Structure 1
Amino acid sequence: MASPGRRGGVPTREGEQRREEQTEQQAPAPQGPVLPPPPPVDYGVFMQGLLQAMQTQAHTQAALQTQMEAQVRIIR
């Protein structure tokens, strides 16, 4: 006698697993434009820009601190 399941004596679990595998293999291709990979990053240039930005911020903060202290002296 055939084992429980669907046609051909395939047990239900195996049939479901096979259907899931087929579904995974037949997944639709992604739609939309395929973008090229991003260009390589030159970390030396990146670090130079980061250092410059941090120095600019430090100078700006120092100038603002000096300006604020001068205004406080005027008020007093």
Structure 2
Amino acid sequence: AMASCGRHSTQAREDEQRRDERGEQHAPAPQSPTVLPPPPPVDYGVFMQGLVQAMQTQAQTQAALQAQLQAQAQAPAPVP
């Protein structure tokens, strides 16, 4: 009987620890100084390339949209 009681109490403690860990994952404790890991070194060349590519594609889509709008505006309106 004593052994079973001991097992139950240790299981309960483990469950409490698991609950605490889950809670810490949801809300990082403010008192811990190292909440965020140090940022990895960023290769700014690759980063800028991606940024420029994104801007270029955006400009291309905008130009295509403008061309479509201009074509629609230039096209004679269908007379009802």
Shorter-chain TM-score tier: 0.5 to 0.7
Deviations 1:19-74 (A, max 9, x none): xxxxxxxxxx8149733211111100111001101110111111011100111122
Q: Distance in 2 between matches of 1:33 and 1:43?
A: 25
Runs of 5+ unmatched residues, structure 2: 1-29
Q: Distance in 2 between matches of 1:43 and 1:32?
A: 28
Aligned to 1:61: 62
- Considering Cα pairs closer than 8 Å and 6+ residues apart, tell me whether 1 or 2 has the greater RCO: 1
After superposing on structure 2, the runs of 4+ consecutive aligned residues of structure 1 that deviate more than 6 Å are none
Q: Quote the sequence identity (%).
A: 69
What is the RMSD computed on CA atoms of the aligned residues? 2.4
Aligned to 2:37: 36
Total equivalences in the alignment: 48
Q: TM-score normalised to the size of structure 1?
A: 0.52
Question: Which one has the largest radius of gyration?
Answer: 1
Looking at secondary structure, tell me which structure has more helix per residue: 2
Runs of 5+ unmatched residues, structure 1: 1-28
